[in-house]
Amino acid sequence: MQDFHKSVVYQIYPKSFQDTTGSGTGDLMGVVKRLDYLKELGVDYLWLTPFFVSPQNDNGYDVADYRAIDPRYGTMEDFETLAREAKARGIGLMLDMVFNHTSTEHEWFRRALAGEERYKNYYIRRPARPDGGAPTNWVSKFGGSAWAYVPEWGEYYLHLFDRTQADLNWENPEVRAELADVLRFWIAKGVSGFRFDVVNLVSKPDVFEDDLEGDGRRFYTDGPRIHQYLHELCAAAGLQDNGMVTVGEMSSTTIENCVGYSNPERKELSMTFSFHHLKVDYPNQDKWALPEEGFSPLPGLREVLNRWQLGMQAGGGWNALFWCNHDQPRVVSRFGDEGEYRVRSAQMLGTLIHLMRGTPYIYQGEEIGMTNAGFTALEQYRDVESLNYYHILKEQGKSEKEIYAILAARSRDNSRTPMQWDDSPNTGFTTGEPWLAVNPNHTAINAQADRAAEDSVFRYYQKLVALRKKYPVIAEGTYIPMLRDHPAVFAYRRELDGVTLDIYCNMTAQPAQVDLEGANGRVLIGNYPAPQRAEKLTLRPYEALAVLY
């Protein structure tokens, strides 16, 4: 068994986790301050989103120096303290490497602007069309053209994200060597792994052409040399030799490619993130539209999650399992219940994802059932994507009411509100003015209260983390879908060496009846006191039950 099969990763968005200076922005020493909390939860790795020097146009995913800590997060000495203190508690650090693009404030881009040919070749440049327009009609992930014109060059550069995030030219071996050197630098600092941001976009096509069917992504997603580049990067940086745990964020990817990225024989990555299950509530694949009232995510989730579980299993690949991250709304608000059944639905959703085949990720606050922000005014938002789409939706003729309803459901700021530690005015996050407003419900939903309660989301997640370490059937068992047509229940089976674990999750606020395979099982975990045991079972609202045979 590979260790990461029985591990659980906790994602930290440092900006919103814990501030120790009163600046209103979280910092590295804030993570140090909360290490005992994380050890109590039982997690094995901490994935920290970028804290490198950055102008923060995309909250740190616009890196201006891969080897330096942004002063707002602390110093290199603070990082070394964090690495040392985490290791003392048996916790490894995973750093978030943004290698598809750099900030336009990065030294490489600045030297390119100054005319140095070597550094101009670090980026993807193309001449204008004869009419002066952009080289292709590709659309940026944040809206608008994916190309920006540079008068000094008389050329455009590609930016799949914000115009201040210039795509790196991975065709250039010097770029690939620089990035491998960055990884070696951090390995020497004591990190245990890496998460690679949108890494399946780095290999661009040989020919740049207009996309007459879409926004351009089909030309650069899982590009022509992506597997070669990943294998080469991992070998050059010694990731396998150093026992690094690695995960790639894969945008609009396929099972076939993710098997290639994560099958150990390929020597690329340990596992992959894919997002298809988090698009089931996008009408016509449009993130910025809301489903009709009464919409149920269950059929879509069941189809996508089962397909990925079975496909990755068949190919020997490995999934990163998750509901939430810094780019996604809170899952309780999205697929659960923010009101009466908040705790039960949070526990149920945790059960559903943690007992699958793969490595589970917990995003900060998920373990206490944090909800969406509930912002009602544009000035409350900080996310560049949300601010851009406010204007795009307005141009599309949407009313203010419609726009705010969409932002309330979809904005990335939903996951970025400060971590709710206690019921004090700034929820224990900062003594200053928080960079993003705290969720008003922190007086009721906070880590202090949740840890004090026996039947809480935190205590339940603690059990889920411990079960993966104790039971090989969870870490290594085969995945088998069950009840594929049930209108309310997501169910599946795990099997290993004569041990069977059946998982039933009622995804609705109404009771739901299921037939158990037998009555001789033992309840391994359930989110209601005194789970019922019978051949016919009525699951209560948002009830989760795992039965071991």
From the list 197, 327, 337, 450, the catalytic residue is 197
- First-residue to last-residue Cα distance in the chain: 22
Which tokens is 274 given?
């894919």
Closest CA to 440 of 420, 460, 410, 413: 420
Q: What backbone torsions phi and psi does residue 520 show, to the nearest 5 degrees?
A: -100, 15
Taking CA atoms, 40 is separated from 108, 126, 179, 253, in Å, by 42, 52, 35, 35
Q: Examine the residue annotation and report whether 249 is marked as an active-site residue of this protein.
A: yes
As a whole number of angstroms, the distance between CA 152 and CA 403 comes to: 39
Residues 6+ apart with CB under 8 A from 64: 52, 53, 54, 55, 102, 103, 105, 106, 107
User: Is-contact 110 208, C-beta < 8 A?
Assistant: no
Taking CA atoms, 252 is separated from 218, 220, 334, in Å, by 9, 10, 21
In sign, the C-alpha dihedral spanning 384, 389, 394, 398 is negative
As a whole number of angstroms, the distance between CA 308 and CA 278 comes to: 13
CB atoms closer than 10 angstroms to residue 16:
27
Closest CA to 262 of 305, 308, 323: 308
Name residue, tokens 């901490």.
46
As a whole number of angstroms, the distance between CA 261 and CA 311 comes to: 13
Name residue, tokens 């995804």.
507
| Half-sphere exposure of residue 501: CA atoms within 13 angstroms, side-chain side | 29
User: Is-contact 501 471, C-beta < 8 A?
Assistant: yes
Residues found in the chain: 549
From the list 167, 249, 268, 502, the catalytic residue is 249
User: Is-contact 439 448, C-beta < 8 A?
Assistant: no
As a whole number of angstroms, the distance between CA 442 and CA 419 comes to: 9
Amino acid in position 175: V
Report the C-alpha dihedral over residues 307, 312, 313, 317, rounded to 10 degrees: -170
Q: Which residues are designated catalytic?
A: 197, 249
